[in-house]
Structure 1
Amino acid sequence: MLTSLSLRLRVFLMFLGMTAAVWVAIGLALYIGLGRAAETGVAGAFTFSGILLFFLSLAIFTGCWFLFDTNVAKPVERIAAAMRTRAHAGVEVSVDQNEARYLGDLGPAVAAVTGELSKASEDAEGIVAEETARLAAERAHLALLLTEIPVAIVLVSPTHQIMLYDGQAADVLKQVHVPRLSSSIYDYFAESELRPGFEQLTEARREVDVEVHGTKGNLSFQLRLKKLSEASGFMILIDSTNARMAPEAARPLIYDFDLTERDTEKAIENCSLSELSFTVFDTETTGLMPNKDDIVQIGAVRVVNGRMVPGERIDQLVNPGRPIPPASSKVHGISDTMVADAPQPLEAVADFHEFASESVIVAHNAPFDLAFLQKYGKVAGLEWPHPILDTVLLSAVVFGSNEVHTLDALCERLCIDIRPEVRHTALGDAEATAEALCKLLPILTSKGFETFGDVIQETRKHGRLLKDMN
């Protein structure tokens, strides 16, 4: 019946009912209290009435708060989160009209707006898709042309961060470590040998040949350094004889030219979310006790400029040095046979430590996974100075702390499909978490959390959620 009334009339009736309830409580308290006057005296009767009135008023206000929170506050919060998700993450969402039944015309109005927005988005997406296809074709053609050049190409920013590499360069860099956009070129080539080469480049001398060693192993590389004339930064040409690509192998062209404009000296808390590089990871383990159990798999991907970088990932089985309990194998599908020839935890964690260098580490329920990394890091002498983000807390900031914040629930809200065969694999869960992060970042910015410091300050308000999940 109330749903047929206007919203303003419902609010008026709510306050009218609350006022009536208070007056009834006052009358009831006085009636009961004065009925005891013969036993306790007038002063005692009024004291009893006051105490009774306090508890009756508390019950009335608690009931009103519960009704308001259930029928107004929570639905409004969910509608706001849904609208931001639709507007900034491009996710198709629907408003639960039954839940919004006491909000007057707000539910239908929001549904109408999202419907029109969807139509407009479909029209725009058609135009964007055509342009994207054209750019993708040009990019593929450029990548194909680059593979015909008998050198591998890396572009670095003025601060020596990698901002482009082709397929051949990726193969060369991989001999040292997984190639990573935004990472320092000195993570791959000895700084003591490469930096003097950069310093020789001037307006008069725009090319320099140098021989450098890799930062790992006994590898030597012949490099030609070129100072870019029409853009800031440097080009590194590597003799393709160092590459070991199969003819049929994929030859991606990976780049992010926004890195030329990044201020690497800025404090992390003052960096905007779009300026940061993220390493999103997950682990599979022998059990749920970091002090007793061990890692059996590490999966990680990198997110730069709000998108996952193709090819920059870790998918590593780990030999825990002990039998994997059948109950754990039933969850993640990893058996003793599968990890028999895999590296030990210390080696795998050290590789991940290098992969995540100079980035923000992200995980879903991060304290659990980080506890394993810190355990092995302590033995190996590794420090973890990386800033940390937890998508459980980011979900709470965006959707409210009263919602369910499991990875499955978050992915469902953001329309992220996790294939059953990759759920509870380290890489599959890491990719799902990374996709969620990419959709959450623009929503956070739209809510006014523009810097990393803003986000961290807000997530601290929801820290209890992590305690509840562990």
Structure 2
Amino acid sequence: MAERPRLPDPRRWSLRLRVFLFFALLAAAAAGALAAGGALAWRRLPEAARDAAALSALAAGGVAALSLMWAALAWTWLRFDEHVARPLQELASALRRRAHAPVATPVDPEAARWLGELAPAAAELTEALGRLRGDVSEEVARRTRELDARREQLELVLANLPEAVLICTLDHRVMLYNRRALALLPDVEEVGLGRSLARMVRIEPIEHALAALRARPEADGAPVLCETARGGALLQGRAALARGPDGAPRGYILTLRDVTAQMAAELARERLLGEALEGVRRAAANVEALSEAVAGARDEGARARLTAELRAQAATLAERLRALSRESREAMSAHWPVAPVAVADLFEALRRRIQDRPAPERPEIEIAAAEGVVSCDALAIVRVLELALRRLALRGVGRVRLGARPGRAWLRLEVRWSGPPLTDSDLAELLAEPIDLGAGALTGAEALDRLRTQMWPAREGGEWALRLPLPVAAPTGTARDALDRPEFYDFDLMARAAPAPQDDTPLRRLDCVVFDTETTGLNPARDEIVQIAGVRIVNGRLLRGETFERLARPSRPIPAAATRIHGIDDAMVADAPPVEEVALRFHDWVEDAALVAHNAPFDIAFLRAVEPRIGRRFDNPAIDTVLISTILDPHSALHTLDALAERFDVRIPPERRHTALGDAMATAEIYLRAIPLLEKAGVRTLGDLRAASQRIADIRRAQAAYAPKNAERTNP
């Protein structure tokens, strides 16, 4: 026997529905009362008066009276719905948002002005709640300020470590990484919290090291030598287990450095040494044989020929030795340790060195210009410049001026002075002096030679100058810049339970990629993507530093109407990779995370359109913030991104609106702020959200009221 459908629980009916049913009941009661009154009036008429004309008149009067009553009830219901029921429902939603989400804007009393003192009282309540939250936040901030300072110190230390540091779970999910890891691994987009290390490096050597550490609990670490996942670099480091209070392994710490160049240099040196020794051995053997032949030759002509051959072989031997010396110097200079250093720091270090010298060797230093960053061995450069300044002071120069002249690839350091000159021979003499670099003494000339630069004197504008060019360093940012990507650790990942079926995953713990696309138009069958952007949510945290943003070159021109909305034209995508390549990279970046978008069917339809061309499927769970808004505010007719941003107090900078990354960031903030409200409504897991979204989607389809995204996109 088929189960009878159950009626919705009346306790879950909305206020507006209850009011409508109340007025409908009044209308039915009015109709019943008029019918009863008409019947009673008919019965009281004398028998002689009960004819067709009387019945018609009585019915006409009843219909007219009923129409007037129903019109009055309808007008009263509409006014009540507009001025009382709907404002009450919107006020309840606004209060609920402010109670469960970090919405700071006060309730607008004007929106519920017909509710008398209720709206101002609600506004005062939300203001008091805001003040209370502010007081609590201030107290929490005061008590945790010291902890935050220590955490920032840890972040700065990690950011400036010369080696890449990663802390991972035992199933190779990244819990922490530092800035060096971003520079070391070939594709920054592959590095992220909660992502698998196996996507970044060959994991087998690391698993072997971890197995060895488990077998030997007393070991404090194991060496690791592995390649990047795409085989572009060779990495060397150590792995160590991170144990919990009970001594059981909870994860592991991995330090890595790039030894690709070092290994190549070692191989090159071995090859160079082998070839050089073989060449020297042959030349020496020839010299030895010819020497014996010359000694035994009795004929003067033969002796002369052998002597000439001996000289040629000796010259060959000398040339091979010179080549060995030259190639050795080039190999040393190619791998001499250099690092980016600010010119201002170089000059300041030089000033401190000179201040420590005795008075006869201590000229006064003026720094005229110190802009720029160079790539060099700072210690060697400071020592060489110190030699020059000491020599100038001993020659009677009391004041020197330091400066830097920037160029495209090289920056020229200058030491300028008035007084006695420093000739080429003087410079050669001072550069022949040894300088202590900590790892053994070199002359100044040898240090400059290994840095592939030189220093020379010049006369300009009545002054003498020493000029020293150094290569400009590629921009790498500062230690503080590392904090621009602050979410580089999350130790909660270590305690996260084993993966459950996604439908059972709480929304607070669901790993998501919130994304948006910009397109050439609105039809996925004809139009194409011109930009994809996304941002990660891991463990309920918006990782602003882990983003994907790529332009894509479509196979058709971008219409002017589309450009007016998102600002992307044909010139901007002329050098961009094709749509297929960008979609493939986005698929790799997303992995198995849930996809969140505002009006997700629109964006996912464009991703699905490219699936046959890339051989991949975007079958990730999809979450639509339009449906979330409908679940939370079913009475509202506005579910655009701008309306949700206003509702959840999310600010979208005007210049970022209708950009893929700007809209994705705003959608991510709205989604996170909606989660507590969804939980309050009983929607706690992905499965709950799917079921609720499906019910809303079915209703909207049935009402033919679910408009595609073009309504919003064509009305920015």
Query: Which bin holds the TM-score, normalised by the shorter protein?
Result: 0.7 to 0.9
Partners of 2:68 and 2:612 in 1: how far apart?
A: 58
Indicate whether 1:365 and 2:608 are aligned. Answer: no
1:354 equivalent in structure 2: 588
Q: Tell me how far 1:318 sits from its aligned partner.
A: 0.9
Q: Which amino acid aligns with 1:234?
A: Y
Q: Deviations over 1:59-118 (max 9, x none)?
A: 788667655544444333322221222122221244444554565654344233212212
Structure 1 residue 185 corresponds to structure 2 residue 191: no
Change in Cα spacing, 1:100 to 1:149, as seen in structure 2 (3 Å) is closer
Whether 2:386 is the aligned partner of 1:156: answer no
CA contact (8 A) 1:32 1:49 kept: no
Q: CA offset at residue 364 of structure 1?
A: 0.4
- For the residues of structure 1 that align with 2:91 and 2:74, how far apart are their CA atoms? 24
> Matches of 1:62 and 1:416 in 2, distance apart?
38
Partner of 1:210 in structure 2? 224
User: Is the aligned partner of 1:386 residue 2:617?
Assistant: no
Match of 1:143 in 2: 155
What displacement does 1:48 show? Answer: 10
In the TM superposition, residue 151 of structure 1 has moved relative to its aligned partner by 1.5
Counterpart for residue 246 of structure 1: 476
400-409 or 217-226, which moves further after superposition? 217-226
Task: From the superposition, tell whether residues 381 and 47 of structure 1 become closer, same or farther in structure 2 (CA, over 3 Å).
Answer: farther
Provide, for residues 16-69 of structure 1, a one-character-per-residue CA deviation record: whole Å limited to 9, x for no partner.
Answer: 976874466436765999999744998x99999999999999878866765554
Question: Judging changes above 3 Å, is the alpha-carbon distance between structure 1 residues 21 and 288 closer, same or farther for their aligned structure 2 residues?
Answer: same
Q: Counterparts of 2:89 and 2:154 in 1: how far apart (Å)? A: 47
Query: Is 48-57 or 455-464 further displaced after alignment?
Result: 48-57
Q: Which residue of 1 aligns with 2:140?
A: 128
SS of the residue corresponding to residue 619 of structure 2 reads coil
Q: Which runs of 5+ in 2 are unaligned?
A: 1-18, 262-473, 710-716
Once the two structures are superposed, the pairs formed by residues 287-302 of structure 1 within 5 Å of their partners are: 287-302=521-536
Contact 1:294 1:320 in 2 (8 A): yes
Match of 2:255 in 1: 237
Residues 409/348 of structure 1: CA separation in 2 closer, same or farther (3 Å cut):
same
Q: Which moved more, 1:282-291 or 1:81-90?
A: 81-90
- Superposed CA deviations along residues 168-213 of structure 1, whole A, max 9, x for unmatched, are 1122345374322112221222344443333333124452222223
Q: Which has the higher contact order (CA 8 A, sep 6+)?
A: 1
When residues 47 and 211 of structure 1 are mapped into structure 2, their CA distance, relative to the original with a 3 A threshold, is farther
Q: Deviations over 1:116-154 (max 9, x none)?
A: 212212222322344565444322211222244332111
Amino acid of the structure 2 residue aligned with 1:338: M
Per the alignment, residue 242 of structure 2 pairs with: 228
In the superposition, the TM-score normalised over structure 2's length comes to: 0.57
Give the distance between the partners of 2:623 and 2:695, measured in 1 at CA: 14
Q: 1:320 Cα deviation (Å)?
A: 0.9
Structure exhibiting the larger radius of gyration computed from Cα positions = 2
Partner of 2:707: 468
How far apart are the structure 2 equivalents of 1:32 and 1:404?
Answer: 51
User: In structure 2, do the counterparts of structure 1 residues 77 and 173 end up closer, same or farther at CA, with 3 Å as the change threshold?
Assistant: farther
Q: CA RMSD in A?
A: 3.8
Equivalent residues of 2:597, 2:623 under 8 A apart: yes
Partner SS, residue 222 of structure 2: strand
Distance 1:222 1:29 in 2: 99
Query: What's 1:113 paired with?
Result: 125
Note if contact 1:29-1:53 (Cα within 8 Å) is conserved in structure 2. no
Q: Which of 86, 96, 101 is the matching residue for 1:74?
A: 86
Please tell me whether the aligned partners of residues 512 and 594 of structure 2 are also in contact (alpha carbons under 8 angstroms).
yes
Within 2, Cα distance between the matches of 1:53 and 1:238?
Answer: 89
Partner residue, 2:511 = 277
Preserved contact between residue 159 and residue 482 of structure 2 (Cα < 8 Å): yes
Q: Which runs of 5+ in 1 are unaligned?
A: 1-9
Q: Structure 1: which amino acid aligns with 2:156?
A: L
Using the alignment, how far apart are the partners of 2:113 and 2:27 within structure 1? 21
Q: Greater CA deviation, 446-455 or 423-432? A: 446-455
TM-fit CA distance, 1:343: 0.9
Task: Tell me, yes or no, if the aligned pair for 1:162 and 1:185 is still in contact at 8 Å.
Answer: yes
Cα distance change, pair 321–391 in 1 and its aligned pair in 2 (3 A) = same
**1:196 equivalent in structure 2:** 208
Q: Which amino acid aligns with 1:201?
A: L
Residues 152, 240 of structure 1: 8 Å contact kept: no
| More moved, 150-159 vs 275-284 | 150-159
The separation in 1 between residues aligned to 2:259 and 2:107, in whole angstroms, is: 58
Structure 2 residue matching 1:251: 3-state secondary structure: helix
Give 1:26's aligned residue: 35
1:4 maps to: none
Matches within 5 A, 1:257-276: 257-276=491-510
Give distance in 1, aligned partners of 2:601 and 2:108. Answer: 34
Question: What does 1:71-110 align with in structure 2 at a 5 Å threshold?
Answer: 71-97=83-109, 99-100=111-112, 106-110=118-122
Q: Distance in 1 between matches of 2:607 and 2:28?
A: 58
Query: SS at 1:337's partner residue?
Result: helix
The structure-2 alpha-carbon separation of the partners of 1:116 and 1:147, relative to structure 1 and needing over 3 Å to count, comes to: closer
Q: 1:268-319 CA deviation, whole Å, 9 max, x = no partner?
A: 1111112111101111111111111111111111112323113200121111
Shift of 1:339: 0.9
Q: Distance in 2 between matches of 1:359 and 1:449?
A: 19
Q: What's the CA shift string for 1:365-395, capped at 9, x where partnerless? A: 1111111111112211101231111111111
Distance 2:260 2:695 in 1: 51
Query: 1:426, CA displacement in angstroms?
Result: 0.7
Question: Which has the larger displacement, 175-184 or 436-445?
Answer: 175-184
Stretch moving more, 214-223 or 409-418: 214-223
Shift of 1:248: 2.8
Provide the C-alpha distance between the structure 2 equivalents of 1:33 and 1:169, rounded to a whole number of angstroms.
Answer: 94
CA distance in 1, matches of 2:619, 2:125: 45
Aligned residue for 1:449, secondary structure, equals: coil
**Number of positions where the alignment pairs a residue of Structure 1 with one of Structure 2:** 459
Does residue 1:306 correspond to 2:540, yes or no?
A: yes
Q: Which moved more, 1:301-310 or 1:65-74?
A: 65-74
Superposed CA deviations along residues 229-277 of structure 1, whole A, max 9, x for unmatched, are 3462111111166899825372245111111122233111111112111
Partner letter of residue 35 of structure 2?
I
SS of the counterpart of 1:427?
Answer: helix
Report the counterpart of residue 424 of structure 1 in structure 2.
Answer: 658
